[in-house]
Amino acid sequence: MRLVALLSLALWLTSCGTTSIQAYPDNWPPLVGMSSDCQEIKGIYADPNVVHWEYEHYDQYGGVTRRGGKLEAAWFVFALQPDSLRLNEPNVKSRAFSLYFGDSESVVIDYLIEGKVVSSKTIPKANWSCDRDGLTVTVQERTGSVVDKIPSHGTTSRIATVYRVGDQLYVKSLDSADIMLLHVVPKGDLEVRWYRFPVHSL
């Protein structure tokens, strides 16, 4: 009976597998002119850390029913651990992140609160590349059992492609999942989203 219930749940989850691809916004500039070494991505950029909601309904008392939401946050895009980022503190005056090339040809992402580094991620050379499409970085990858409470195996990943034009950093985030639920039921998801972050004013 338990196996039947788990199989039914797995089949339901499989039917929820989705593909969601956001096109590059029409009013954003063409992404052309990046150098062969991507050095221009180096800099400090502001993190808005806000959710943009789609508003569906206003009731007679002025209340709002919110439908959908997109988190505009660098810590999320680059898969930084949230524990030290004080995300629930409204009195934080300044959030920013820096990108630069570190030792051993690594890419380093630092997260700053009010000018102080509170979290850092180092991406080894094997996990990034630079070409005409920009700096492509695998910021998160998990393999093995990747679904909570359901026997499974597979891979999930987030790949960020970074491109700078003027004083804005543009990021294409690609999330993918290739999972076998109960080790026999396939489930795949694909999501592409675009973000941009302005140069941080110190």
Q: Lowest mean pLDDT: which of 14-23, 91-100, 109-118?
A: 14-23
3-class DSSP state of 122? strand
Domains in the chain: how many in total?
1
The yes-or-no verdict on residue 128 having pLDDT over 70 is yes
Domain that holds residue 33: 2-198
Across residues 36-40, what is the average pLDDT? 92
Hey, which of 8-12, 16-20, 100-104, 158-162 has the most confident mean pLDDT? Answer: 158-162
Tokens 């651990």 belong to 81
Say if residues 144 and 157 touch (Cβ distance below 8 Å): no
Contact in structure between 183 and 153 (CB atoms under 8 Å): yes
Q: Is the pLDDT of residue 199 over 70?
A: yes
